[in-house]
Structure 1
Amino acid sequence: MWRNPSQHFSAIGIRYFERHKGEVNSCTFSPDCEILLTCSDDSRIHIWNAKSGKLLSKIKGHTGPVKAGCFSPDCTLFASGSHDCTVRVWKTATTECLHVLRGHSKSVETVCFSPDSRQLLSAGWDRTAILWDIQVGCKLKIFSGHDDVIQSSAFSPNAPYLATGSWDYTVKVWNLKTEGQAKTLAGHKGNISCVCFSVSGMLASGSWDRTVRVWNPLSGALIFLLDGHLGWVKSLSFSGDGMLLATTAYDEMVRIWDCETGTCIKILEGILEPAHACTFTPDGALLLSGPIDHK
């Protein structure tokens, strides 16, 4: 975990969280930056004190690798998606399982909450995305149209849109207010592994083609093509103000991009394994990456 009090991304220290017994597939901070959630191939979810690094809880329930996890924006809940084909919704305060959501026929690869914390999207190997009502644990809508695995998803923070990224090389942008067809963003030459909206309305997608594309999601226009990674792009995260974009790939480095110019302003090295996940804290002062060496 890289501390950056000066906003210049000088790496003055790394803290390791070393208790998982499998690859770390997902890591995310709670909105208040107090808690860190990590999900692993060891079928476990770990809850950490983000400041001290103390392991607060080992959460069991899934019967297969946990592929994705996320907190609700109001921090009262967190969700996890697993290779066991289920989505679980948990209470943050007690880690009690609130709902076990069944509806996918294959592995769940991605989960994300709506900005109002009332809905959850899940998607995966069955090529469908399911929108859930979290209050009662029921399906609201099923999104179909991708021709291959859906590995990533994201809600827009300030518009009624969500995005899904697929192994069919496309990103689809869905309007939650209409029943019309999704807008398809094409151009990548490999599987889409990650998508993320910024507060300013941009949409970024990372791919196995080693590039990151930044789009205007409404028009479908390409804003930037970010080229520089030497391996598959695995994860990306906008800073809270939308001015920076962090990307990780199978090249043992994290790249930081200026979202006004599309230039790489910093390469964070010192990661000895490919990083599966990265995320900014909301204030942009910390950047966390989760590599495959279980840390």
Structure 2
Amino acid sequence: MKADYHKTAVKHFSRHKGEINCCVFSSDCQILLTCSDDCRLFVWSVISGELLTKASGHTGHQRGVETVCFSPDSKHILSGGWDKRAILWDTQNGTVIRIFSGHQSAIQSSSFSVNSQYLATGSWDYTIKVWNYEAEEKEKTLSGHTGNVSCVCFSTTGLLASGSWDRTVRVWNPHKGAIIFLLECHTGWVRSLAFSRDGMLLASAGDYDPVFLWDMENGNCLKTLQQKMDMAQGCIFSPQGALLTTGMVDEISKADDAEQQ
């Protein structure tokens, strides 16, 4: 029997004038960040629903924004989109701190390292770029994917994972620009990646596949967490790391035991 899911909105946020492409909570869940095809980023109060900050203008994105993320302390925002630029913003006042240029196509994914020193962006040009926030040194370009890079994420141990439409997941040493593991179980586009809190496990979700759980000591697939599905759009570990939640196109979310057996 299908579960009876109650779909009651807690808050309604409505100011964008285009399709919303990404939304993320701050680490304390007090503010919500959204981005849109209207070239703007909005920062909202989760409690009141009030618009706190609007990030846009002539120094901002000139085309649709595909990806946004908070720094670990939520003081900064990284965004990327169809103008091929990544922009670092001040969360409180929405001003541009720095613009990163170098990708040859749209930026689809972004991530901060745990210490906020490094930023990563994944692009439709098949590359990942790693930028140093604190220095003006040239970015590192990580090459090897043969399809659009749809997701990137840092681990607490300093690894960087990337997923692609080429059906592979790559795990990198971002400082050296060297690949550590090439993970090849997926048969469809890889849509989402998540590291466990200790960085020892990596979950990957994609089209027409189960969700895979990988050991970051040796790159082995430990287990699959679900049966084959049409499209898994996202995966994320619970704060304590014992559960992994995935979202699918059939509108059902599921939590699985993610502890290594």
- TM-score calculated relative to the size of structure 2: 0.89
The 8 Å contact of residues 18 and 294 in structure 1, kept in 2 or not, is answered as: no
- Of 40, 60, 84, 1:127 maps to 84
Distance in structure 2 (CA, Å) of the matches to 1:125 and 1:216 = 27
Identity over the aligned pairs, expressed in percent? 53
- Of 212, 231, 238, 1:281 maps to 238
Please state if 1:183 is matched with 2:130.
Answer: no
Distance in structure 2 (CA, Å) of the matches to 1:15 and 1:281 = 22
| Farther-moved stretch of structure 1 (119-128 vs 83-92) | 83-92
Unmatched segments (≥5 aa) in structure 2: 253-261
User: Which residue does 1:78 correspond to in 2?
Assistant: 32
In structure 2, relative to structure 1, the CA distance for the partners of 1:200 and 1:187 (3 Å cut) is: same
Distance in structure 2 (CA, Å) of the matches to 1:55 and 1:86 = 23
- Matched residues, number: 248
1:90-119 Cα distance to aligned partner (Å, 9 max, x none): 112212111221121222111111122111
User: Which residue does 1:141 correspond to in 2?
Assistant: 98
In structure 2, relative to structure 1, the CA distance for the partners of 1:211 and 1:272 (3 Å cut) is: closer
The 8 Å contact of residues 186 and 209 in structure 2, kept in 1 or not, is answered as: no
Distance in structure 2 (CA, Å) of the matches to 1:67 and 1:267 = 28
- Of 229, 232, 241, 2:189 maps to 232
Distance in structure 1 (CA, Å) of the matches to 2:181 and 2:3 = 33
- 1:62 Cα deviation from its structure 2 partner: 2.1
Higher relative contact order (CA 8 A, sep 6+): 1
Distance in structure 2 (CA, Å) of the matches to 1:125 and 1:16 = 39
Please state if 1:157 is matched with 2:118.
Answer: no
User: Which residue does 1:221 correspond to in 2?
Assistant: 178
| Farther-moved stretch of structure 1 (80-89 vs 222-231) | 80-89
Task: Give the letter aligned to residue 200 of structure 1.
Answer: T
Distance in structure 2 (CA, Å) of the matches to 1:262 and 1:15 = 36
Task: Give the letter aligned to residue 266 of structure 1.
Answer: K
Please state if 1:167 is matched with 2:121.
Answer: no
Unmatched segments (≥5 aa) in structure 1: 1-13, 20-53
Give the root-mean-square deviation of aligned CA atoms.
1.9
In structure 2, relative to structure 1, the CA distance for the partners of 1:141 and 1:60 (3 Å cut) is: same
1:178-203 Cα distance to aligned partner (Å, 9 max, x none): 11210111111111000000000000
- Of 149, 152, 158, 1:195 maps to 152
* Secondary structure of 1:74 counterpart: coil
The 8 Å contact of residues 53 and 92 in structure 2, kept in 1 or not, is answered as: no
In structure 2, relative to structure 1, the CA distance for the partners of 1:293 and 1:213 (3 Å cut) is: same
- Of 10, 27, 30, 1:56 maps to 10
- TM-score calculated relative to the size of structure 1: 0.79
* Secondary structure of 2:10 counterpart: strand
The 8 Å contact of residues 128 and 150 in structure 1, kept in 2 or not, is answered as: yes
